[in-house]
Structure 1
């Protein structure tokens, strides 16, 4: 009888052996797949659903002006939050809203510690506002207030100090460009406009700086004048146009 008449298909011996070998291989694939899925599920549960890897401690470093408690409060990190779910970008943005903070970095330290590394704004000048002293950084941001004049910072004299005031930014740009040999002798930096910056030195000398541009040329002029003047007192120096040096 033929295969069609009997309704059965005869499998050659070689094919039958190969089919038998394929069945356990398929079971191995299924088993390994289930094992991987189970492992991934367990890892996901440990990271997101269990109490094993949650925030237990918040550390703060790099602060002097901003109290640690204010930084922690601004960060808004809830203890018990799964470490993997912590939105470090949002935490960083909240910390950087503090006026003392220029930048912040949020670090996860497993299994349960979050570290906030703060870079604070550095005061470079002081502004007298009705008997209270505002400490400003290089961007014109008020970093802190004080009741007494802090030592070591030059006074800033402008009409409306702030990060959006062009006169303030011009004065602070000049201040940042000064080498230590000049900034250490500076008593006051005054700006009536973005192109009208004047330096008042501790010895009483006045330097009419002008615009903030061409700082390198102006500094070289001041150094050359100091060398050539010897012990002669020069009360006023006008270097607003470096091509024409004026003294009196």
Structure 2
């Protein structure tokens, strides 16, 4: 049988599979999303690590007991860091060794300033420790010292630092913490023979029998009322009887004598 050679017109057939429009539509959103994510990553990297946002200035407010010099020294490790990389917890940790600092909040002020708001612990008494006078908060945290206890306008507690942590000390500071600052400023000293027998002495020498730690908010309110409203003269007497003791140990039935 004769073999017939294929003609040029009968060359090898090549099959082609055209890409449909549907497939193109399926992949281009993914490509677009990838491009957007890459752009965001670049922008974030620039923002996070840009030297233009490096910390240069720290401004501090809220300090009365803590030294601003000590605060600035404690925050020195933050210098040169990008503002976007500084967190409130970092600042709090750096200030942890300053006993006066209770809490902090921060504000970034681009391009290079960090504002640190400090909330300090509240002193409620001056603790006499030998010849020194130490400001203490209700927990006995030592917040600083003063050479002029009268200028602190806080009641005096005797007993030295050995008293911190004792039940009587905790009772006294709890009572003092329950009083408004205006009343604390009128107190000369605080003492307690036991946790249930707290007594306060006013600057004018008059006494306040407080008693135990129960109903402290009510006792505080009653004491304020008694101090603001001195007794009136009884009928037939030209002057009221002098008050030397304010007894609020039973706040619903206070006694003056």
Calculate the TM-score normalised by the size of structure 2: 0.73
Structure 2 equivalent of residue 91 of structure 1: 91
Over aligned residues, Cα RMSD in angstroms? 3.4
Call closer, same or farther: CA 1:35–1:210 in 2, change over 3 Å: same
> Given that residues 125 and 135 in structure 1 are in contact (C-alpha distance below 8 angstroms), is that contact kept between their aligned partners in structure 2?
yes
> Given that residues 156 and 190 in structure 2 are in contact (C-alpha distance below 8 angstroms), is that contact kept between their aligned partners in structure 1?
yes
Gaps of 5+ in 1: 1-5
Name the SS of the counterpart of 2:204 in structure 1: coil
> Given that residues 158 and 167 in structure 1 are in contact (C-alpha distance below 8 angstroms), is that contact kept between their aligned partners in structure 2?
no
Call closer, same or farther: CA 1:184–1:231 in 2, change over 3 Å: farther
Structure 2 equivalent of residue 55 of structure 1: 55
Larger Rg: 2
Is 1:220–2:222 an aligned residue pair? yes
Call closer, same or farther: CA 1:231–1:26 in 2, change over 3 Å: same
* CA deviation map 1:126-157 (0-9, x unaligned): 12211111112344322111222242222123
d(CA) in 1 for partners of 2:123 and 2:182? 19
Calculate the TM-score normalised by the size of structure 1: 0.76
User: How many correspondences in the alignment?
Assistant: 236
Structure 1 equivalent of residue 192 of structure 2: 191
> Given that residues 46 and 52 in structure 1 are in contact (C-alpha distance below 8 angstroms), is that contact kept between their aligned partners in structure 2?
no
d(CA) in 1 for partners of 2:56 and 2:134? 37
Is 1:240–2:249 an aligned residue pair? yes
> Given that residues 63 and 120 in structure 1 are in contact (C-alpha distance below 8 angstroms), is that contact kept between their aligned partners in structure 2?
yes
CA drift at 1:106: 2.5
d(CA) in 2 for partners of 1:243 and 1:60? 46
> Given that residues 58 and 115 in structure 2 are in contact (C-alpha distance below 8 angstroms), is that contact kept between their aligned partners in structure 1?
yes
Alignment of 1:133-148 (within 5 A): 133-148=133-148
* CA deviation map 1:70-117 (0-9, x unaligned): 112223433222333324313213314311212111233333322211
d(CA) in 1 for partners of 2:220 and 2:120? 31
CA drift at 1:26: 5.2
